[in-house]
Structure 1
Amino acid sequence: MSEAEAKAESVGTVVVAGAANLAIAVAKLVAGLISGSAAMLSEAAHSLADTTTEVLLYLALRRGARPADRRHPFGYGKESYVWAFLAALFTFVVGAGFAITHGVTTILVHEHTGNYRASYLVLAISFVIESVSLARAIRQVRRESRRWRSSPHRYLRLTPDTTVKAVFLEDSAALVGLLIAGVGLGLSELTADELYDGIASILIGVLLLVVAGILARSNISLLVGRAVSDRVHRRIEEELEALPEVDRVDTLMTMLLGPEDILVAAKVDFCDDATAADIEAAADEAERRLTEHYPEIAYVFLDPTRSMRGPEGHRARPTQDENQRPVDEPAGGGS
């Protein structure tokens, strides 16, 4: 699958999820007002938050895909992470805040009207619709993981395409939330005690907090300037060192400029007998090899250098400190 097709699929996934969430939000709101269920109203807020999130993710895809210009020579890819972060923040404040607050209020003072039939019907229909949306997201995750030669789990954990991650996590959380709401409604109806409905509402809020926290953390890391994964880093280093004109790679740095753009910058110690023409040819060959393996690599900068070796013959400035690996392994497809 080409980059253009991948971007189009991401847009389609977001649009489908957004349309589904909007329809579900209206149905849950009506059912919640009829039944007076805190869990149903929390689920309505959940779907409303998801719908707003999809709108922000759509903006992220569109604005992040704008071409580079003079003021932004590396493009607008990182802007997609700004909108995705705002989407996570909205889920955190609106969705989770309403669900937890309303759940606590229900436990303390609220009583149900006792009409649960509409709520059960909406929950069942919502589960089917959310399952369809999640199935589409899963198909995209599997397809993209094959493109990066990675497992779906690893791809989902490391992917810089936060729109795919957001849709997958939100749809998964939506299904879990529906189950929680159903159990809460059922227990409240059987016991005639709104305590269980209120607890269900609070649990839905906690679920939203977890999802929002994961997405916010991922987007902050990408905004700061995250590198590619360790395996991709090593593959890039191996490709550079395989060039006959290269003695060693002194320093290698990478950065994810957006969901589909990678920057590679390296200090390279070329062989002593390499001429200026040899270095130019090697730089062209390096870019060809890297982009052949990873079409997402948009920029390759090589800085010829003659660095001093360390006391034991190792590189004076290692490309990565193996003893200080980050806890959250950098993204970049994971291959």
Structure 2
Amino acid sequence: MAAQHDEQENGPENESGLTVALAFAANLGIAVAKIVAALITGSASMAAEAAHSIADTFNEVLLMVGLRRSGRPADRRHPLGYGKERYIWTLLVAVAIFGMGALFSYYQGIQTFTGHRGAAESDPLIGYAVLGVAFVLEGISWQQAFRQVRGAAREEDLPLIAYIRRTDEPTAISVLLEDSAALIGLLIAFGGLGLHQLTGSAAWDGAGSLLIGVLLTVVALILGRINLNLLIGSQADPRIVADVRARLGAAPEVEWVVDIVTVTFGADRALVCARLDFRDSLTAGDVERACVRMAHELRDAHEEIDEVFLEPVPRDDAELRERVIARYGRTLRPRGSDT
């Protein structure tokens, strides 16, 4: 069982590594080309896009570090492993997108509008060529990220948006959002550069830079929100929670499922804690054997469940009842009831 679980876990890990590596290679080449084009054309939009690609390249390094460090096995100091460390590094990606990409884009746009940045006098054709090549390379990276995320959503039998909201694996989501923002940003930069050339007004170029800044800010906020929820500790997939309740409630030894708490603590890793009111006729040995059996059944039914803790409690304990009601708004239903 353990070997099978490791094999299942390594598949998504390897694909996430491929997605990040491909994005890193694409962004590094694009960043160099955009820097050269920005220096030649003097375009604010192109400079903003260069900063965007530099930030994205740096971000892929952060994601690779997160993948490596979060995969370390559990030890005495970290008995649940290092899975949540991935969320910290991905949160740093959100900070970097805003700090390195969005703020520089705002700066370039404001400089243009206040007249501190001159109009581009060089032939902008090199800018168009770089934007076109960058769009192709970003498209390749985006396709890999989208394929991984869409495949994972299909495995979970969830719509793409619902999967993005629920997932506990933010690495591929980060690359997908970065690449989506990059493709949109390239179109904005192309428009700013083109309108600048057609009208002779650098305001269009500055407006393009500001729009890229807004775009990167939105992406940073979305990524930050996703990883903030994961770091705080979110509930496991509601479908898993419902099935856990049903399985525990259907156990012949259990009279009442008093409380269930589930927490994700890494990619495809969840902890289940349940308080159960066992039949009074059972002996201590019966309860122990039932707990071991039910824990095995839950882990066999859901590969995401890594740890299971079952606690025998009386269902009429007033303090426990208040805590359950405070968490769920009501007590849990007895065994045999629909979820």
TM norm structure 1: 0.91
Letter of the structure 2 residue corresponding to residue 85 of structure 1: L
1:138 deviation in Å?
1.2
Partner of 2:336: none
Comparing 273-282 with 86-95, greater Cα deviation is found at 273-282
Distance 1:320 1:74 in 2: 27
1:233 aligns with 2:250: no
Q: Classify the secondary structure of the residue corresponding to 1:2.
A: helix
Q: Is the 8 A contact 2:178 2:219 kept in 1?
A: yes
Higher RCO, 1 or 2 (CA under 8 Å, sep at least 6)?
1
Partner of 2:167: 159
Partner of 1:298: 306
1:36 aligns with 2:21: no
Matching residue within 243, 256, 266 for 1:248: 256
Q: Is the 8 A contact 1:114 1:189 kept in 2?
A: no
Matching residue within 148, 162, 166 for 1:140: 148
Q: Is the 8 A contact 1:263 1:300 kept in 2?
A: yes
Distance 2:325 2:25 in 1: 46
Letter of the structure 1 residue corresponding to residue 307 of structure 2: Y
Q: Is the 8 A contact 2:256 2:315 kept in 1?
A: no
Q: Deviations over 1:121-174 (max 9, x none)?
A: 111111111111111111111221232232222112211111111011111111
Matching residue within 274, 290, 293 for 1:266: 274
Distance 1:92 1:9 in 2: 27
Partner of 2:106: 100
Partner of 2:335: none
Q: Deviations over 1:216-268 (max 9, x none)?
A: 12212211222223333222212221212111211111111111321111111
Letter of the structure 2 residue corresponding to residue 3 of structure 1: E
Partner of 1:131: 139
Partner of 1:66: 72
1:78 deviation in Å?
1.2
1:318 deviation in Å?
3.7
Comparing 52-61 with 101-110, greater Cα deviation is found at 101-110
Q: Deviations over 1:198-228 (max 9, x none)?
A: 0000110111111111111221221122222
Q: Is the 8 A contact 1:308 1:316 kept in 2?
A: no
Distance 1:319 1:148 in 2: 30
Partner of 1:330: none
Q: Is the 8 A contact 2:269 2:305 kept in 1?
A: yes
Distance 1:118 1:98 in 2: 22
Q: Deviations over 1:81-105 (max 9, x none)?
A: 1111111111111110100111110
Distance 1:149 1:288 in 2: 25
Q: Classify the secondary structure of the residue corresponding to 2:252.
A: coil
Matching residue within 191, 195, 199 for 2:203: 195
Percent sequence identity is 45
Change (3 A) 1:224 1:321: closer
The gaps in structure 2 that reach 5 residues or longer are 1-6, 331-339
Distance 1:319 1:263 in 2: 21
Letter of the structure 2 residue corresponding to residue 220 of structure 1: L
Letter of the structure 1 residue corresponding to residue 161 of structure 2: H
Q: Classify the secondary structure of the residue corresponding to 2:126.
A: helix
Distance 1:209 1:100 in 2: 10
1:194 deviation in Å?
0.6
1:88 aligns with 2:94: yes
1:309 deviation in Å?
7.4
Matching residue within 2, 6, 9 for 2:12: 6
- Count of matched residue positions in the alignment of Structure 1 and Structure 2: 321
Q: Is the 8 A contact 1:38 1:106 kept in 2?
A: yes
**Cα RMSD (Å):** 2.0
1:322 deviation in Å?
5.3
Q: Classify the secondary structure of the residue corresponding to 1:82.
A: helix
Q: Deviations over 1:261-293 (max 9, x none)?
A: 211111111122223333223222322232233
Q: Which runs of 4+ in 1 moved over 3 A?
A: 315-324
1:316 deviation in Å?
6.1
Q: Is the 8 A contact 2:51 2:104 kept in 1?
A: yes
1:47 aligns with 2:47: no
Partner of 1:331: none
Letter of the structure 2 residue corresponding to residue 275 of structure 1: T
